[in-house]
Amino acid sequence: MHNHIICPKCKNSLNVERHVIFVVEKNDGSRGLVLLSSEIGDYSIRNNPSIEIEEGERLEFYCPVCHGKLSVQHHPNLVRVLMKEKSGNECEVYFSRIVGQKSTYLIKQDGKIEPFGYDSSEYFDALM
């Protein structure tokens, strides 16, 4: 079963099967669609061929439904979405918007932070 990811702004689902769909914008203003795995810790990425994405680039992430910006104000390199658990509870999921950086954080309702990815130490203290 894949994780159910939702937009924190409009509360619409961002999933299509096992992927999460985002609109991304590069520094040059070009935009395109990317699909990320809905499984936390899986850093595979698929993108529309009309937009070239390079390792180390910082992308701006948007909800494909409401077009709301999903970046985090208190840290410029993180994106925030919500994940609905089987129990119905919502958790926060933060991940790096730097292409190739493997850092994801699951924050449960009790405030416990679970880091995932090789680069997870990069932003852990910023979420405390």
| Residue ranges of domains in the chain | 4-127
Say what the alpha-carbon torsion angle 81, 79, 100, 57 is, to the nearest 10 degrees: 140
Largest CA distance in the chain: 42
Convert the pLDDT of each residue in 96-116 to its tens digit: 999 999 999 999 989 899 999
Are 104 and 117 in contact, with CB atoms under 8 Å apart?
yes
Are 79 and 72 in contact, with CB atoms under 8 Å apart?
yes
Q: How far is CA 82 from CA 51, 57, 60, 109, in A?
A: 26, 24, 17, 11
Query: Is 123 or 60 the better-scoring residue by pLDDT?
Result: 60
Convert the pLDDT of each residue in 24-44 to its tens digit: 999 999 999 999 999 998 999
